[in-house]
Structure 1
Amino acid sequence: MNKDFNSIVKVWEAAVRKSAGPKKRANRIFSTPMSVAHVDDDVYQVEKILNNGDFYTGQWLNNFPNGHGKYLWTDGCMYVGEWQKGNITGKGRFSWPSGATYEGDFKNGFMDGKGTYIGSNGDTYKGFWVMDMKNGQGTQSYPNGDFYDGDWKKGLQNGHGRYQWKNGNHYIGQFRNGLFNGNGTLMWQNGNRYDGCWEDGFPKGNGTFRWCDGSFYVGVWSKDSKEQSGTYYPSSGSDDDPLEWDPMDLFSVDLIDCYVCGCEKVSIFPSQKNLNMFGLEEDNNNKHLLSKKVTER
C-alpha cells in the first residue's frame, strides 16, 4: 500500500464535502489501476477511486466487499464498517456532509438494530431501529433541552414513555403517533398535575387535575364543553364547598408549553444511497483487478 495513502484520502474527503448535493447513482464501471494487497487465499485488501469520483477501500471476498471497508460518495456521505457479500451489514458508522452521524447496527443497507444517531443540530437518539426508523426502546435528546425515554414505533413515540421538558414539566404515560394518548400523568414544575385519560395530546375522558395548593377537580374532560362534567374540591382548610366548575380554559393555558418536539429530518438514509454490488475478475495478463459493469440496485 502507498505510505501516503491516508493523507491522500483525507485531502480527497475534504474536497468532496465541498461538492454539490446528492446525485443520482448511475451505472458504474471500475477500471484499473487499483491498489491490491493479498490478505489470505480468498481475501484481498483493495483501494480504488471510481470513475465517478466515489472511493472504496477495504476487504474483498469472492468478488464482493466482505469484512471491513470504507466507502465515500462524492456528495460527502461516508460509511465505515462491516460488509457481507456486497451489502452494508453489521456494525458501522454512516456520516452525512451536514455533520450528522449514525453509529451502530446495519442490515442490508438499513439502520437496523441498536444504534445512535446524532443530528447536525445536536438532536440525539440512542436505541433500536427497524429499516431506518426508530422502533422499540430508545431515548431522544432534543436541541432545546427536552428529553424522551420510552417506546417507539415507525419513528414516533408509541407505547409507554416519559417526556421531560427543559423547564421541569414532565409527562409519564401512554403515547400513540407521537402524542399523549391513553392514560398518563402530566406534572408541572409549579406543583400542578393532571392524572387521567388523553386523546391526541389533550385531556379526554375521566381525569383529575390537582393544584399545588391542594385543591383539585375530578370529572370528565373534553374540548367540547357539552361533554364536560365534574366537581371542584377546595383545598383542605378552606371554607368553600365543592362546586360544579369548568377549568378547561385554565388547563389549556397550562398546555401551551407542553408539546412534544419533532425530531430532525434525515436528508437521505443510508439505504437510499443505492449502493451498488461490486463484481471483480482477475486479468491474467497484468494481474490487476478489473471490475464488471454493475447496475443500480
Structure 2
Amino acid sequence: MTQGKEEKTAIENGGTVERCGDAELPQSAGERERKQAASCPAGLKVNPAEVNRSSTGGRAVSDDPPEDTHQLPTLFTLVILSKLCCILYRHEGETCEGQLHGEGVACFEGGHMYKGMFSSGLMNGPGVFTLAGGLKYEGEFVCNLPMGRGTYTWPDGSSYEGEVYNGIRQGTGTYKCAKTGVLYRGQWDQGKRHRKGEVYYNQDKSSWYKGDWVKNTREGWGVRCYPSGNIYCGEWKNNLRDGEGTMRWLKLEQQYVGTWKSGVQHGRGTHVWILKRVDGSQYSLSNQYIGDFVQGQRHGQGAFYYAGGAIYEGEWRNNKKHGKGKFTCRDGHVLEGEFVDDQMMTHNQDGHRVPSPLCGVTPLSGSDSLGSDMALNTEYLLDKIPATQQDAEREQLESVVLMHITELKSVYSFYSRLGRVHCPENTFLLTRLQLWRLLKDCNIHHHGITLMQIDHLTREDATSADIHSPFTPMLLCRLLSCLVIVAYHIYHEEMVSQEKLLAACFSKLMTDNILPNAKNVKGFLFRQPDCAVVAVNYLKKCWEAYKTHCKDKTVTYRQLLWMFKDFHLLDNNLTTARLLKIIAAESRDPSNMSCLDLEITFLEFFEVLLGSAEVKCQQASEGLEEGQSLSSPAAEARKDLPETEELSSTEESSAAREDVKTKVNERTQPTEHTEGGERWGVQTRGTEAKDHELDLRIQAIHQFFNHFFFPAFEYNQTVSRNMKEEKLQLTDNI
C-alpha cells in the first residue's frame, strides 16, 4: 500500500493530463463539483477536460441567437495504476499467475466499477467502466485506457458514440445532448470537432450547419440553415460568416452575394430585393444594389437599380446616397451632382445649397428597398415599436409592400382616372377625393374609423386648409403610407401577437380589404364613368357650399339633413326617409341611423347630393323629354344664375351625350347580318334604351344643381348676409 501511495503521488505531480471538450452544453457549478468528487483516490486518476470556449466576436445574426458559446460535458482520462491489487478492494473473475486475467468484475475505491475483460492484470478488451459520479464508458480498452470504438454516456442522458483514443474523442463519432437536442456527427481531433462535420441545433433539425470545423469552431466552408429558414452558404471564421458567401432571406425575399467580415456584409457585394409578380409570370422585378459595403451598410462606391426603372450611381455613406453621384429617372431624365443624406443638393436663388428630393418625391427614411418614388412616411408608427426592432420592422414592412406593389400601382392608376376625360398617357395624379372613394370601396369605414379620422392620421405636413380638400394631389408614396397607417389603426389589436406588427397589419389589409374590393366602384359619383365626367364639373361650387356649412371645420350628416330642410329641397319624391336611405347606403347596417352625428368628408357630402339628384330630378327629366316645364318653385331663383354657367352646363350635357352616343355606336356595330337583321334590331333597341337612361341621369345632375341646389344655396347666402346686415344696423342704432 505504501508503494501504491508513492506511485499515486508521482502520477498526480507528473502525469499527463488529457483534454477533451466541446461547446454545446452548459455546465453548472454543481456539476463541476460532482465531477471533481468522482476522482478515484487510490491509484485511479480522473482528470476533467479543460473546457474550450468559443467566442462569437462581432455582431450576431439579426434573426438568430448567438450559438456555440456553451460547454460540452467533459470526458475523463482514466489513468489506472499497473498494480491494481493496491487499489482494488474486491474482484470477481478469472486470474492467471496471481493477476487478473479473462472476464471479471473489479470494484475500486471510491465506488468505481469495471466489468469486462482483463489481461495480465490490466483492463484490456471489451468492457464497461462506470464512475461513481455516473459517467459510463462502454467499449474497447487497451492497457487500462479507453481505446478504439466506444460509447460515453453522461448522467443527464447525453452520449458520444464513435472512435476513442487514449480516453478522448478522436476520429469519427456522434455526440448528442439530451438537454438541448443538439446533435453533432462528424470528425473529432483531441476531443474537439475538427475537419468535416454536421450539427443540428434543435429537435426538428430545422436549424443546422454542415461544413468545416477547426477546434470546435465553424471555420472554412460551410452551409448554415437558421431557425427562420434563412440560409448562408460560404466561408466561415471563428463561428462567423467571413469571406465570400451568399445569404438568402427567404421570407423577406432578399439575397446578398459578396464578401463578409465578422458576420456582416463588408467589402464588395450585390444585394437584391426580389419582387415576384402575382399573376404567376415567370418574370420578376427587383431592386438591386451592386457596390461597396462597410459593417453591413452600403458605404463607398455603388449603383442602385430600382424596380421602377430608376438608377443611382455614385457614392454612399451609411446606407444613403452621399457624395458625388448620378441619378437617372425612369423617364430617362438625368440628375448629376452632389448628394447629401439621400437628397441631391441644388443652389437656390440666394446661392445657398439646399436639398432637392429626387424626381419630386421624398427619399426613403432608413431604407431604399422601395425606391425613392415609393418612400413610406411611417416614422410615428415605428416609434411605437421597440428601438431595437425598428430596423427589422421597417425592412419587413417594405418587403410586404413590394410584394403587392404591382397591384397597388394598378389600383393607383385606376382610381386616378375616375372622373377624368380619357387621356392616352394616363398621367394623372390621385386626388384625395379619389382616395376617399378607394377607402370606401374597400369598406375601411366598416372598421370603426371614419374618412375624416383617416385624414387627420395621414395629414403629414398638410395645412388645415388642405387636410380635407378633395383636390389635394396624392403621390403613390403617400397612398402607400396612408394604407400602412390605416392598416395599423384597424388591425393592430387583432395582430398584436405577430412578430412584425406593421407588416402583419398591412398584409391583412391587402388580403381582406384591398385585393377583394378595389376597382369595384360604388357610390353615386364614380359608379358610372360618363355621368362622373359631368358631375365633377360641379365639384368646386359644391366645395364652397360644403365649407360654408362647416361647423368647427367639419360637417355631419345631421347638419346635412338640416341643410336640405333649410333649402326646401325635400318634396314628395325626395322625402326625409328617402334621404336617410341615401345617407346610409354604404353603411355596414343601412337600418342603423347612428351615423347621423359622424363627421363626413366632401365625398360623402357630394354623393348625397348626387343620390338626391337621381331621386328628385329623374321624373322631372322624363317630363322634360315630353315637353313639360319644371314645376319646382326653386326654378324661379334660376334667373339669378349667371348665363355663362348655364351655357357651360348645357354644352357639357350635350357634349357628354354626344360622347356617350359615339361610344354606344362603336360598341354595337354588327359583325354579321344574319337572321334578317332581327338580332341587330334587338341590340339597337337595347343600346338605345341604355343611351336614353344615361341621358336622363346626366340631365338629372344638371337640373338638380342648376335649378334646385345652387339657387337655394345662393338664396340662403343672400338671406344670411341680409340678416347680418340688419343685425349690425340694429347694433349701431342701439
Smaller-chain TM-score bracket: 0.7 to 0.9
Are residues 1:51 and 2:132 paired? yes
Q: 1:36 aligns with which of 93, 110, 116?
A: 116
Are residues 1:96 and 2:177 paired? yes
Amino acid in structure 2 at the alignment position of 1:150:
G
The residue number in structure 2 matching 1:23 is 31
The residue number in structure 1 matching 2:311 is 216
Q: List aligned pairs for 1:219-238, cutoff 5 A.
A: 219-223=314-318, 228-235=323-330, 238=331
Amino acid in structure 1 at the alignment position of 2:248:
Q
Q: For each residue in 1:118-145, what CA deviation from the matched residue of structure 2 results, as whole angstroms up to 9, or x when unmatched?
A: 0026320000011110000000001111
Q: 2:271 aligns with which of 183, 186, 198?
A: 186
The residue number in structure 2 matching 1:65 is 146
Structure with greater helix percent = 2
CA RMSD between the two structures: 2.8
Structure with greater strand percent = 1
* Matched residue count: 237
Are residues 1:124 and 2:208 paired? yes
Q: Which runs of 4+ in 1 moved over 4 A?
A: 224-227, 243-246, 254-259
Identity of aligned residues (%): 27
- CA gap of 1:166–1:21, structure 2 versus 1, over 3 A, is farther
Q: For each residue in 1:159-208, what CA deviation from the matched residue of structure 2 results, as whole angstroms up to 9, or x when unmatched?
A: 00000001321000000000000000000112000000000000110000
| Secondary structure of 1:253's aligned partner | coil
Taking the aligned partners of 1:146 and 1:231, their CA distance within structure 2 comes to 34
Amino acid in structure 1 at the alignment position of 2:272:
M
Structure number with larger C-alpha Rg: 2
- CA gap of 1:224–1:208, structure 2 versus 1, over 3 A, is closer
- CA gap of 1:170–1:53, structure 2 versus 1, over 3 A, is same
| Secondary structure of 2:334's aligned partner | coil
| Secondary structure of 1:192's aligned partner | strand
For structure 2, list consecutive stretches of 5 or more residues without a partner in the other structure.
1-27, 45-105, 108-112, 276-285, 344-362, 370-390, 397-734
The residue number in structure 1 matching 2:634 is none
Q: Tell me how far 1:43 sits from its aligned partner.
A: 4.7
| Secondary structure of 1:129's aligned partner | strand
Q: Tell me how far 1:75 sits from its aligned partner.
A: 3.2
Q: 2:257 aligns with which of 140, 155, 172?
A: 172
Taking the aligned partners of 2:320 and 2:161, their CA distance within structure 1 comes to 58
- CA gap of 1:164–1:21, structure 2 versus 1, over 3 A, is farther
Q: Tell me how far 1:76 sits from its aligned partner.
A: 3.2
The residue number in structure 1 matching 2:631 is none
Q: For each residue in 1:67-102, what CA deviation from the matched residue of structure 2 results, as whole angstroms up to 9, or x when unmatched?
A: 111111223321111011222110001111211111
* TM, length-normalised to structure 2: 0.30
Contact 1:92-1:103 within 8 A present in 2 as well: yes
Amino acid in structure 1 at the alignment position of 2:116:
V
Amino acid in structure 1 at the alignment position of 2:146:
P
My pick for the range that moved more, 249-258 or 175-184, is 249-258
Contact 2:172-2:186 within 8 A present in 1 as well: yes
| Secondary structure of 1:184's aligned partner | strand
Taking the aligned partners of 2:156 and 2:167, their CA distance within structure 1 comes to 21
| Secondary structure of 2:227's aligned partner | coil
* TM, length-normalised to structure 1: 0.72
- CA gap of 1:22–1:188, structure 2 versus 1, over 3 A, is farther
Q: Tell me how far 1:38 sits from its aligned partner.
A: 6.7
Contact 1:150-1:157 within 8 A present in 2 as well: yes
| Secondary structure of 1:242's aligned partner | strand
Q: For each residue in 1:25-47, what CA deviation from the matched residue of structure 2 results, as whole angstroms up to 9, or x when unmatched?
A: 215226624221479x9951111
- CA gap of 1:52–1:37, structure 2 versus 1, over 3 A, is same
Q: Tell me how far 1:56 sits from its aligned partner.
A: 1.1
The residue number in structure 2 matching 1:242 is 335
Contact 2:314-2:321 within 8 A present in 1 as well: no
- CA gap of 1:102–1:225, structure 2 versus 1, over 3 A, is closer
Amino acid in structure 2 at the alignment position of 1:116:
E
Taking the aligned partners of 1:137 and 1:239, their CA distance within structure 2 comes to 44
Q: List aligned pairs for 1:191-210, cutoff 5 A.
A: 191-210=286-305
Taking the aligned partners of 1:206 and 1:182, their CA distance within structure 2 comes to 11
Taking the aligned partners of 1:224 and 1:188, their CA distance within structure 2 comes to 15
The residue number in structure 2 matching 1:270 is none
Tell me: higher relative CO, structure 1 or 2? Use CA pairs within 8 A at least 6 residues apart. 1
The residue number in structure 1 matching 2:224 is 140
Amino acid in structure 1 at the alignment position of 2:301:
N
